[in-house]
Amino acid sequence: MLPSDSSIAHSRAVLLVCSMFHAVNDATIAILPGIMPFLVKSFSLTYSDVGLLYGAVLAVMVILQPIMGRLADRFNELDLLVLGIVLISLSCLFLFNVGSYTELFLLNMIYSVGASVYHPVSYAVLSRVAEEATYRTKSMGISGAAGDLGNCVAFLSTGIFASMFGWNFPFLVWGLTGSFFICVYLIVLRYVRRCPPESKTASDVTLNAKWNKKTKASLRFTAFVSICVLHGAIYRTFINFTVLFLTDVVHLSPTDANYVFSLFVLSGVMGALLSSFIANRLGLRRALIVEFLALSVCTLPLYMDFLRVLPAVLPLLILSGFTLYATYPVIFSLAADVTGFKRRGVSYGFIMSITFIGGVVLSFVGGKLADLVSDISIVYIVTAIIALCASSAAHVFSSE
């Protein structure tokens, strides 16, 4: 049965709200990595200190995202999204006036509470208003691309703002931007309400007919969890350490490093937008296998001495960004096929938490390894191995 005009209009409105808030959410996530070279100098931080800060922020998200997902199953998802952006915006405005590393650390913990809201809540509501797999993957790709675009703009501007006005100025810019989007939602878009849950859908019948055999279900569930953990580890490694890699190893200025990394994210925007096209051609599961294999091939050369020059690093980062960002709309679309309609919020909260667990572990491990060998590029060997493991896990998940 074709969806009604009102259902289509509703799903488009939800997509607009999710995309708008995703841009702000992911832009503010980019601030800390973008200013990290300045923080390292200002507060004399080691790579282990950097990993600890990132790991603590992600640990808060690991704990809170299932709770936020549970709330999405009980309350209006879009109102929950705006509450998260309110907390993010307030944290950024306070971070503009921070005077010590202790204050910076504590305010980032508060920020991470707000950042815990967006992903489980938005993916839950998008999956509910777009039950058909192709449109669902496309919607998640569009919303993801909006977040990636915000991420890209933040990396492009953060180095300039930090160089000209101080490392804390980007927090003011995005705190005010978030406040503006909050006003837009409250004044113009708050009439949007979620569709009432259907009494039962195919997704509510356990996980899937193919998952009814307990042995196979356990194996495939373990594979899916592994994919999420490994994907989070890969993503956070690029986000947390690449700007430092570009400044410390490729010897770019902080501003130029942010420019280059913004191209990584911009390539990711294209990957997210084209993810549904790739998935339609290869199938959701096969697309994951191919994308993780390509990511492993693109990442490993970043460790090689003779390739540590910008003309070699730039295309590798662009290809890595495209393949990495193309995977997550597919992963989150697959998640909707194996979860119940009425419990999508808590399901996505769980998925996001296990994804962030990988990021927490690699934040600590990556920082420690870099200090141990005095070379930040060691993280890309680990990333290449993890991407290869993720491709293997995707193969197990796709097996009939």
Residue 388 vs residue 72, higher pLDDT: 388
Residue 131 lies inside a defined structural domain of this protein? yes
Residue 50 lies inside a defined structural domain of this protein? yes
List the domain range (segments joined by +) for residue 354: 8-191+213-398
For 91, residues 6+ apart whose C-beta sits below 8 A from its C-beta are: 107, 108, 110, 111, 114, 175
Q: Say which residue the tokens 């998940």 belong to.
A: 397
pLDDT in tens, 260-302: 988 998 898 888 888 878 888 887 778 888 999 999 999 999 9
What are residue 276's phi and psi, to 5 degrees?
-70, -35
Residue 173 confidence (pLDDT) above 70: yes
Residue 385 lies inside a defined structural domain of this protein? yes
Distance CA 66, CA 36 (A): 29
Which residue, 18, 243, 223, is CA-closest to 129? 18
pLDDT in tens, 180-226: 999 888 887 766 554 444 434 434 433 344 444 444 566 777 888 88
CA angle 31, 320, 219 (to 5 degrees): 100
Chain-centroid distance, C-alpha 106? 22
Distance CA 354, CA 66 (A): 10
- Count of C-beta atoms within a 10 Å radius of residue 27: 28
Residue 199 lies inside a defined structural domain of this protein? no
Residue 107 confidence (pLDDT) above 60: yes
Domain count, the chain: 1
**Residue 172: its pLDDT value, please?**
93
Residue 252 has which token pair?
């770019």
Residue 102 confidence (pLDDT) above 70: yes
Residue 55 lies inside a defined structural domain of this protein? yes
CATH of the domain at 108: 1.20.1250.20
pLDDT band at 163 (very low <50, low <70, confident <90, very high): confident
Residue 58 confidence (pLDDT) above 50: yes
CB 81 within 8 A of CB 345: no
Helix ranges (H only) for the chain are: 5-43, 47-72, 77-95, 101-129, 133-165, 169-184, 214-248, 254-273, 275-282, 284-299, 310-337, 344-373, 378-398
Dihedral of alpha carbons 50, 349, 18, 3, sign? positive
Residue 118 lies inside a defined structural domain of this protein? yes
What are residue 99's phi and psi, to 5 degrees?
-120, -10
Residue 98 lies inside a defined structural domain of this protein? yes
Residue 280 lies inside a defined structural domain of this protein? yes
Residue 314 has which token pair?
């730039």
Chain-centroid distance, C-alpha 263? 16
